[in-house]
Amino acid sequence: MTSECDGANSSPAITVFNDSTRLAILDVDGTLYPGALGVELLRALMKGGLCRSDRGEAVFEVLRRYRAREVDFATMSVTAYGLFASALKDCPCSEVERAARDLWAHERSRLFPFASELVKMLKDRGCEPMLISGSPQEMVGLVAGELGVREFRGSLFSRRSGFYTGDVELSSGVLGEKERILAAITRGRNICLRGSMAIGDSLTDSVLLRLVGHPIAFEPDPELLSLALHHGWVVADRDSILDRARALIP
């Protein structure tokens, strides 16, 4: 069945019906939080001797090479996830989860001040907030709990018998992966993409911004800013995001 929710921004992977749910798909790193929670978790694990430091250092090296434009984004992201997973190999899952909770106890105060109000406002206006982040699920779940968001996805590292195996199960920060995550979360549900909003700051978020009727590029990196200007997407910063979102969602 088609409806006014169908249109050029709809994905064929997501079924759309009349009277369907409007989503507000929110990135975390650089959007709700001024940094990268996965990077902070890795630092904490290395400092506590809970993971392989040599593989952890290799993650930071590939990030440095990307910032120096020695490797492209696709290469950096795939390589970084593989190295992160390798650093976690044979680590007890319970210890990593404990480290994530301890880290969040310190980092929660760094959430952008608008984050809680934004989520509440979106709920009040009939949108269902959802977090899709490149950071590990262990951290994204804590952010979701803080903000009262029920649906969330972060990167997943394979587990067996209470230990990490060293393999990547879901590399959510790789280009194109967030669209597949959204399709998996919403499979079988009635979703109105034209009435939905997405907010993100980097190239990995562009696939979601293309899908929805109300895209917002938040303090975008140069690649996303170029796309936002080309497509006419709303651009916002931490001072204007609440007003921009209110204006888009009736």
Phi, psi of 137 (to 5 degrees): -55, -30
- Listed in sequence order, the residues at least 6 apart from 43 whose beta carbon sits closer than 8 Å to its beta carbon are none
With a cut of 90, say whether residue 9 has pLDDT above it.
no
CB 183 within 8 A of CB 13: yes
User: pLDDT category, 160, cuts 50, 70, 90?
Assistant: very high
Cβ neighbour number for residue 141 with a 10 Å cutoff: 18
User: pLDDT category, 112, cuts 50, 70, 90?
Assistant: very high
Tell me the DSSP string of 87-144.
HHTT-BHHHHHHHHHHHHHHHGGGS-TTHHHHHHHHHHTTEEEEEEEEEEHHHHHHHH
CB 200 within 8 A of CB 208: yes
Q: What is the mean pLDDT of residues 157-173?
A: 97
Phi, psi of 124 (to 5 degrees): -60, -25
Amino acid letter at 68?
A
In this prediction, residue 116 carries a pLDDT of 97
DSSP letter at 203 equals: G
pTM: 0.90
- Cα–Cα dist 227/231, whole Å: 6
In this prediction, residue 5 carries a pLDDT of 55
Pairing of strands 197-200, 214-218: parallel
Q: What is the mean pLDDT of residues 196-212?
A: 96
- Cα–Cα dist 222/235, whole Å: 12
Tell me the DSSP string of 24-84.
EEE--BTTTBSS-HHHHHHHHHHHTT-S-HHHHHHHHHHHHHHHTTSS-HHHHHHHHHHHH
With a cut of 80, say whether residue 172 has pLDDT above it.
yes
User: pLDDT category, 19, cuts 50, 70, 90?
Assistant: low
User: pLDDT category, 250, cuts 50, 70, 90?
Assistant: confident
CB 47 within 8 A of CB 93: no
